[in-house]
Structure formats: structure tokens, C-alpha cells
Amino acid sequence: MKLNDPDRPETKVALELRGVSKSYCSESGSLVQALDGVGLTVQEGEFVVLIGPTGCGKTTLLNIAAGLLAPDSGQVLLGKGLRQGDNIPCVFQHYTLFPWRTLLHNVTFGLEMRSIARHDRNDTARALIAKVGLSGFEGAYPHELSGGMRQRGAIAQALAIKPKLLLMDEPFGALDDYTRMELQQMLIDLWQESQITVLFVTHNIDEAVVMGDRVIVFSERPGKVIKKLQVKLSRPRRGLSQEFTKVLVELRQSLGGYVWPGE
Amino acid sequence: MTCHYLRKRGKPLANDEQKNRSPRNWPKLLGWTVVPVLLLAAWQISAVHLQQPWLFPPVSRVVEQLLHPLRQHYASGSLLMNTSVSLLRVLIGFALAAVVGIPLGVLMGSVRTIRGLIEPLVELLRPLCPIAWLPFAIAVFKLKTVPQLFGVRFSHTILDHLQLGMIFVLFWGGFFPILVNTLDGVMGVRRNYLLLAKTLGASRLQSFVHVCLPAAMPMILTGLRQGIATCWFVIIAAEMLPGSDSGIGYLLIYAADQSAMDIVIASMIIIGVVGALLSFIMRWMMHSAVIWQGKE
């Protein structure tokens, strides 16, 4: 569905969700409501972080945005030129690269699907691999790469198809703190350079404040938006300044009931 | 405590690779050299003492047979000829099983309706020993051979030994391992990879070709390996039954009737070695085709 702009022709919205609800059958057969009337808007070029407790339907929401799931009710509206399964790739936490392909051929995957000539797609991929700092590993298989390198590769794989909107589902969730910080910085640099729109899911509060222009806080299941927080800190952000801590505390408080039950 | 002791002595903890090369691996080394030699020596000495070669021939006589693979044994042909006949039968039966089994497994794995229709039949027929098909196959195909299919009564080549009945039985031997493994492989493709392909712009057909097939490849190759091993088991048994006139299994049973135990044992060794070679070749092919297996 295309986003109709007659109401607000001046805004450039990349993605808008209106009253999106989704239920699914759990393995035990009971009906679980993952999302309950979620509405949110992502502006073009914005870096939006979704945060919430585990199992609050963040992933479901991302899958709906990617067109991998259909919502039970509500609307998914996409900005001009955005098409699901075309320029809205998703970087997952696990299984981000195809294990039977080398890094180079993983990055060229999307271009191969678009029948781009081998020579051209290899050139594009090599440039992107260099950009994410993996030069020299073009011929390596995913199992030969470390967790952090795999996520770098996954980002290159997503960027290869020239995304308009990049969806990221806890992409750094399985990494150690040091690698995570490196990759956060790399992603921010790439984002600032290319001005793509990013919708980034995490359950790490620190990461949310480091990354997001805007942080959207989700409640426990069924997922609902309980707070939208504008983060007006200058970049690069590191977690030692007073302003940073202030935002962090604010976010902690809004999540309080979920992070520390009983508080 | 042990660890501390070792460090003090300055011995680094060996990783697996070092372990294999270190002298600690002497049991394996002896297992491949001294143990077989001792066994063969014991066999030779006891056989010479026993002096009943029709029951327990000395090693030297078996080796002598193996060194003359072209020698004609009565009316049953040579070791080499019979081994080639068995191998050719297996390769044809196995190839047919693969040509039918892989596409059918892929189809069943990806189309629910087809799986629903065929799976009960598969589960019913699968436990049936392929050899049980032989009497039926001989009754249906008589002793018709592959050249006769094409209107050639006698081609006077090895092809005259390719009875349709044998190939039919081999087909069933190879078919089920290939089918079932392919089916499991296609159905076991991680959903994440399909989702990833979809978000990267793959169509359904492209997802099938570029994700389903490569992801299922390790299982398909496992099926092929099990299939060819089963075929090799099946052909030996089938050739030992009445209605057969050639093949290494036939030579084995024929030589046993003639109390030529040296030929029997030589045949057994050949059967074992060919089986091991087939398995080795398949494993080698698998290794180069799916180096990523088990390393996701």
C-alpha cells in the first residue's frame, strides 16, 4: 500500500503504521496477541529505535514492516519509492548470511536476484565489503567469520540493494560489548553518510540512546507504544556525558516497570 | 591440579591436530599396521596347519586369487568381470533412484498436497526390504535385459548382464534413502534464510533455487550416500538368489557350492573394498560440495 500524502504533502514519511494489531497461535495452541493497535511514523532519513521487553512484539512489528507478515488489522503505509521485498531489507540477529555462499556472494545475493551483471555486482559488493571493514575476507564462508564480522557482512548484504529503509532486528544482540560499540559506530557512520532511514529494534537501553534520533518504547505483550522519546544529543554520543545519562535515566524510568518489576 | 602440573613441566596443552600427529596416537598407527599383519599371520599359520583349504584356505591362496582377477572360474566368469557387472548394475539402479527420488523429494517437500498424497504410501513401502521385490520383479520382467529393451537380443557385451529385474530391485534399494533424506532436507530449510532472501528481493522461484536447494544439499547428498551403500548391499544379496547368472554375489555363492573357499573369501574382500570405495568417493564429493555443513 502506498502512503497517501494529501493530508500532509510537506512531510516525507518513509513508513507509517496505523492501528496495527497482530495475533498468532502459540505452540500450545492458545491465541497470543503480539501487537495491539500500534501506530508509529518514521520520517525519511530518520534513525528510529524500538525498545521494549523481550517478547513484546517488536520483531513481529518489524516483520510486518518488511512485508514478511500481514497484520490482522490496521494499515502499513510506505513512502514514495519504497517497496517491500525490493528496497526494505532486514538485518537479523542470527542466520544473517547464507552459509553456503562466500561473503562476496552473500553481498551480491540481492543484486543476483535482480539479474545485475556478474562483473558489476562483484564490484559493488567489493566496495561495500571494504566499507564495512572486511576487505580480504571476500572468499570466506560465514562459518569462518566471527560474530561481529558476520554482522558487518549482513549490513553490507543489505546495503547492496540500495535500501530506502533498513530494518534491523537486534542486529548486535549476540555480540560482546566491545564489538557492539564498534559496530554501533560503524552503522552510525554509514547512516550519516548515506542518509537511509533506519528502524532499529533492541532491548538494550544504552544502545537505544546511542543510536536513536527517536526512541519508541513498547509495553509488554500485547505490544503497545507507551512512550516516544526524541533524543537531541549531538553525535558521536558516548555514555559519559551528563546529557547522555539524563536521557538514559528518562528511558530507564519509562521502562522501569518492565526492567525492574515492582519498582 | 593436573593442569598445574603440566604447565609446570612446560607442556603446552595439545589441540586435536597436534594430538593426531603426536606419538600418543600409536594405537591408531598399530591398528592400521601391526594388528592386521598379526591377524593375517595367525590366519596363514593356522590354515597351513589345518590343511582343509575347502573350509579355511591360507591367506596366500586368497591373495593369489586376488592377484589374478581375470582368471575364469568354471562357467561363472572372472572376479573382475563379475565385479564390473555388479558395479554397473548398482550404478544404473542408483542413478534411476536418484533421478526419480531427488525431484520427488523436492516436490513433496515444497508442495503440501503432493506430500499428503504420497507420504502414506512411502511410509508403507519403505520398511519393505528391497530384496522382497525380487521374485515379483523376476516374474514381471522375466530375464529381460537392458539391450532387449532397445530390441537388441544379445549385444555380446557386459550390458547383457543388466537384467531389468535386478535394476528394479536396486531402484527400490536406493530410492527410499534418497527420497526421505531429500524430503527432510527441503522441509528442514531454516525459515530465516527464506525470509532473508525475500527481504533481499528474491521471488518464490529464486528462493527455491538459491535458498531451498543449497540449504537442502547436505541432506540430499547424505541420501545419495546412504542410497548407494544400500544398493551395494542389495545387489550382493540379490545376486546370491536363484535367477541370477552373474555378478560378484553370484560368483561368491557359486564358488561356495564348489567348495572354492579361496574365491569366496576373495569375493568378500572385493565386496568390502568396493563398498568402502563407494562410500569414500561419496564422502569426498560431499565434503567439497558442502564445506559449510554443521558449521552454521
Q: What is the pLDDT of residue A32?
A: 82
Q: Please say whether the beta carbons of B217 and A106 come within 8 A.
A: no
Domain B82-289 has CATH 1.20.140.10: no
* A130: contact with B, CB 8 A cutoff: no
The domain limits of chain A are: 1-89+164-263, 97-162
Conformation bin of residue A46: beta by default, left when phi > 0, alpha when psi is -120 to 50? beta
What b/e string do you get for A24-46 counting C-beta neighbours within 10 Å, with b at 16 or more? eeeeeeeebebbbebebbbbbeb
Cβ neighbours, 10 Å, residue B275: 15
Q: What is the pLDDT of residue A239?
A: 65
Mean pLDDT for the stretch of residues B94-99: 97
Q: What is the pLDDT of residue A237?
A: 80
Q: Quote ipTM for the complex.
A: 0.88
Q: Report the residue of B196, B198, B220, B292 to disrupt the A interface, i.e. the one with the largest count of A CBs within 10 Å.
A: B196
| Residue A8 clears pLDDT 70, i.e. is over it | no
Cβ neighbours, 10 Å, residue A169: 22
Say how far apart CA B278 and CA B154 lie, in whole Å.
30
Mean pLDDT for the stretch of residues B136-160: 87
CA-angle at A68, arms to A63 and A72, nearest 5°: 80
The domain limits of chain B are: 82-289
| Residue B11 clears pLDDT 50, i.e. is over it | no
Q: What is the pLDDT of residue B287?
A: 81
Mean pLDDT for the stretch of residues A61-83: 87
B200 and A110 within 8 Å at the Cβ level: the answer is yes
Give B-chain residues touching A85 at CB under 8 angstroms: 198-199, 201
| Residue B95 clears pLDDT 50, i.e. is over it | yes
Strand partners, A217: A51, A227
Q: What is the pLDDT of residue A227?
A: 81
Give tens-digit pLDDT for B187-239.
999 989 999 999 999 999 999 999 999 999 999 999 999 999 999 999 999 99
What kind and span of H or E run contains A90?
Answer: strand A90-91
Say how far apart CA B174 and CA B77 lie, in whole Å.
27
Say how far apart CA A198 and CA A184 lie, in whole Å.
13
Quote the cell numbers at residue B209: 533455487
What's the whole-number average pLDDT of chain B? 88
DSSP B64-75: HHHT-TT---TT
- Decide which of 3.40.50.1010, 3.40.309.10, 3.40.50.300, 3.10.20.90 is the CATH code for A1-89+164-263: 3.40.50.300
Share of chain B above pLDDT 70, in %: 91
Share of chain A above pLDDT 90, in %: 39
Can you point out the beta strands (E) in B70-214? none
Burial (0-12, 13-18, 19+ Cβ within 10 Å), A156: buried
Gyration radius from chain B CA atoms: 25
Say how far apart CA A210 and CA A236 lie, in whole Å.
8
Mean pLDDT for the stretch of residues B156-182: 93
Nearest residue in B to A105, CA atom: B210
Say how far apart CA B25 and CA B31 lie, in whole Å.
10
Give tens-digit pLDDT for A122-171.
999 999 999 999 999 999 999 999 999 999 999 999 999 999 899 999 99
Closest CA to B78 of B236, B233, B235, B255: B255
Nearest residue in A to B206, CA atom: A113
pLDDT band at B151 (very low <50, low <70, confident <90, very high): confident
Q: What is the pLDDT of residue A11?
A: 61
* B216: contact with A, CB 8 A cutoff: no
What's the whole-number average pLDDT of chain A? 86
Conformation bin of residue A74: beta by default, left when phi > 0, alpha when psi is -120 to 50? left
How do beta strands A31-43 and A13-25 pair? antiparallel
* A115: contact with B, CB 8 A cutoff: no
A96 and B196 within 8 Å at the Cβ level: the answer is yes
Give B-chain residues touching A109 at CB under 8 angstroms: 197, 200, 202, 210
Say how far apart CA A151 and CA B232 lie, in whole Å.
46
DSSP A32-52: EEEEEEEEEEEETT-EEEEE-
Which of helix, strand or coil describes residue A9?
coil
Gyration radius from chain A CA atoms: 19
B197 and A100 within 8 Å at the Cβ level: the answer is no
* B290: contact with A, CB 8 A cutoff: yes
Minimum distance, in Å, between the CA of residue A75 and any CA atom of chain B: 19
Those residues whose C-beta lies under 8 Å from the C-beta of residue A141, and which sit 6 or more positions away, are: A99, A100, A101, A102, A103, B291, B292, B295
Q: Report the residue of B191, B199, B221, B287 to disrupt the A interface, i.e. the one with the largest count of A CBs within 10 Å.
A: B199
A64-to-A17, A38, A68, A167, B190 alpha-carbon distances in Å: 9, 11, 6, 11, 19
Give tens-digit pLDDT for A24-70.
887 787 888 888 888 889 999 899 999 988 777 888 888 898 888 88
Q: What is the pLDDT of residue A254?
A: 80
Which of these ranges, A193-197, A255-259, B22-26, B98-102, has the smallest mean pLDDT? A255-259
Nearest residue in B to A69, CA atom: B195
Give tens-digit pLDDT for B238-284.
999 988 889 999 999 999 998 899 999 999 999 999 999 999 999 88
